[in-house]
Amino acid sequence: MVGASQSTTPRTGGGAAQGAKDEARQAAGQAQEKVQEAAGQARGRLREQLDKRTSEAGERVTGMAGDARSVSEELRRQGKEAPAKLADQAAERAERLGSYLSESDADRMLGDVESFGRRQPMAVMLGGLAVGFAASRFLKASSSRRYRSEARERPL
């Protein structure tokens, strides 16, 4: 009979541990929801900023295209047809880029970059290599300047 009474006696320690585990799971779930919400808000703000900045860049590029058209007209008045054609081509490309930047949102641009990367992986690789090389040169130059300025500040 002693064995039967032991098996029916509730374990208060086990129930408390289970309750603590459940509370911990709930707290972890709530924390995860808050993190996901904050990440969503950050993505939204980043998209807004990207859209705003690209629209501004598009307006500037379109303005430069207008300047290139003016240069082209002036070159034509001077009788310089070949440079005028080059200026016209540059203006046309700048206008297309400007309108793309002004009209596109972040999702479209990301999709276009991904699509280009799939079609031209070598170009993306070479572009990444060029950016990496430029960054390494910049870091090297800034570190040597910093080293020289620190050496001047240290007493001998």
**What digits encode the pLDDT tens for the residues 109-140?**
888 989 999 999 999 999 999 999 999 998 88
Instruction: List the single range of 12-21, 46-55, 84-93, 123-132 with lowest mean pLDDT.
Output: 12-21
Rounded CA separation 92/105 (Å): 22
Mean pLDDT, rounded, of the chain = 83
* Rounded CA separation 146/152 (Å): 10
- Model pLDDT, residue 14: 62
Domain boundaries in the chain?
A: 20-106, 120-156
Question: pLDDT per residue over 58-83, tens digit each?
Answer: 899 999 999 999 999 999 999 999 99
CB 89 within 8 A of CB 129: no
What's the average model confidence in pLDDT over 19-28?
A: 84
98 burial (CB, 10 Å; 0-12 / 13-18 / 19+) is buried
Nearest partner of 72 among 55, 93, 58, 57, judged by Cα: 93
The length of the chain, given as a count of residues: 156
DSSP-based three-state secondary structure for 120: coil
Q: Is the pTM of this model over 0.75?
A: no
How many Å apart are CA 7 and CA 139, to the nearest integer? 71
Confidence tier at 86 by pLDDT (50, 70, 90): very high
